[in-house]
Every structure is written in structure tokens, then in C-alpha cells.
Amino acid sequence: MRKKIVAGNWKMNTQLSEGIELAQTLNKKLDNSENEEVKVVIAPPFTHLASIKNVIDSKKITLAAQNCATHEKGAYTGEISATMLKNIGVDTVILGHSERRSYYYDTSETLSLKVAQVLANKQEVIFCIGEVLKEREAEKHFEVVKKQLSEVVFKLSEAEFENIILAYEPVWAIGTGKTASPEQAQEIHAYIRGLVAENYSNEIAENTSILYGGSCNPGNAKELFSNKDVDGGLIGGASLKADDFKAIINSF
């Protein structure tokens, strides 16, 4: 059975001391039995990862990074490799977030290299896809997500694809307060699962977790997560408050 997952993308927020406090507070609020039902992931900034690893219980919280380099090591000034992340105990990496695609020029080509690095280190990828408002208005959202998946993760072997978690994040809903309606989310999540079945098998499609992201909060999470093809959320703003994030986790 596929996993239910709630992942918090902290983006470039919190100073180290605040980040440690947030992680500790969340760790205290969670108990092991909750984690058996819902996998909880947090993705703090790079500078916080090693310190936060020491203050959380890895049975309750999985630590993720928000990006990684296209190469393993070498003359790539300013980059952090998947191997370095693995070395400090980070087993999950978010790739393809729309902010990275638009501000830092992540393309399908660079994302393929990054995914390969993560998989080479036996880590998991949370792979983000989603259309911008213009594309949704032109009813091109199905086409857009199909292209984003086909150019990167659908090129993987079956065994590799088992390490991929998908996150559908309509760009028009990220940080805007606008959320996809539960019907819109279910429609495109079912479509994405169908694409996984076409490219791999029904069994793999059934086992793939597909998260929704975009202004998800304690007020709308329950309705979104109650859809049969929505397996959890990738949460931005609301993951910065332990109570809100916990309420979202409890929405299942």
C-alpha cells in the first residue's frame, strides 16, 4: 500500500535557532503511532540539516533537503551534492519545485541529473510538477504535467521509479492563498496515477504516493486529503508553525 505523507518545505525561512526550536516542538508533538499512519517529512534550509538531524527522532520525522547538485563532487562552487546530504543522514530530496524551476533555471535536463544523483545515493525524491495559471486557464494542465513527468521521472527504470514520490503543485496556488478545489486536485491526481500505470504498471501506480501542494492549511487539508488519489501534502507556509503543521498531519 502507498504511504500517506505530509512534507513541510520550509524554503528560505528560519534562522538556525528558530529552525531547531520548530523541529524540536514538532518532534515533541508527534508520537510514533502517528508516524506509522502518516510519514512526516521536513525540509529545512541546507545550513540547518546537520543540527536538526541531532534533535529529531528519525522514527517520527524524516529529514529532507530542498535541492541538490547535478554532480557528485568537484569544481561546482556553491553547490551541495546528494552524497554530502546522504553523509549527514538526509534520505529525501525535493526536486523540481516551481520556485527552483523559475528562479534558478532547473530544467528537465538538470533535474534528470539531480534525480540520478539522489538515486545513486539510495535516497528518495519528492518530484514536483504543476502548471502556471495561464496554462490552467488554457486547459493545458494535463499536457504540462505529462511533459514534466515524461522528460524526467518516466525515463527511470521500474526499480528506480519506486523511490519517487510525486507532488502536484499548481504554481498558481503556491503561496497565493488560492487552493485547487478538492475536485480539481482529485481530477489531476487520478490523471497522474493513470500516467504512472501507462508508463509502468497498475501495481506501481497504486504504490506511488502523489501529494498535493499549494496553500494547503489546517482549514482545507481534510477535504483535499479525503480524495482517493491525494496521498498527502507538500506544505509551504503552514509548515512553519508546528501547530498548523500538526493539524494538517491530523487531517487524515
Q: Which residues bind ligand PEP (CB under 6 A)?
A: 9, 169, 174-175, 213-216, 234-238
Dist CA 17 CA 12 (whole Å) = 14
Our CB check for ligand PEP shows the closer of 200 and 212 to be 212
Residue 90 or 170 having the CB closest to ligand PEP: 170
> Min. distance of Cβ 199 from ligand PEP in angstroms?
24
Q: To the nearest whole angstrom, how small is the minimum distance from the Cβ of residue 13 to ligand PEP?
A: 10
Pairwise CA distance, residues 249 & 252, whole Å: 7
Nearer to ligand PEP, 116 or 235 (CB): 235
Say which of 97, 99, 124, 141 is annotated catalytic. Answer: 97
Residues 81-89: contacts with CB under 8 Å, at least 24 apart? 81/117, 82/114, 82/117, 82/118, 82/120, 82/121, 82/123, 83/117, 83/121, 85/49, 85/121, 85/123, 86/121, 86/122, 86/123, 88/49, 88/50, 88/53, 89/53, 89/58, 89/63
Q: Is there a contact between 218 and 245 (Cβ–Cβ < 8 Å)? A: no
Catalytically annotated residue among 99, 124, 135, 169:
169
Which residue, 232 or 237, has its beta carbon nearer to ligand PEP? 237
Q: How far is the CB of 177 from ligand PEP (least distance, A)?
A: 8
- Nearest approach, Cβ of 118 to ligand PEP (angstroms)? 18
Does the annotation count 169 as an active-site position?
yes
Give, rounded to a whole angstrom, the gap between the first and last alpha carbons of the chain.
16
- For ligand PEP, the nearest residue by Cβ is 236
Closest CB to ligand PEP among 149 and 224? 224
Distance in Å, CB of 205 to ligand PEP, minimum: 23
Indicate which residues carry an active-site annotation.
Answer: 97, 169
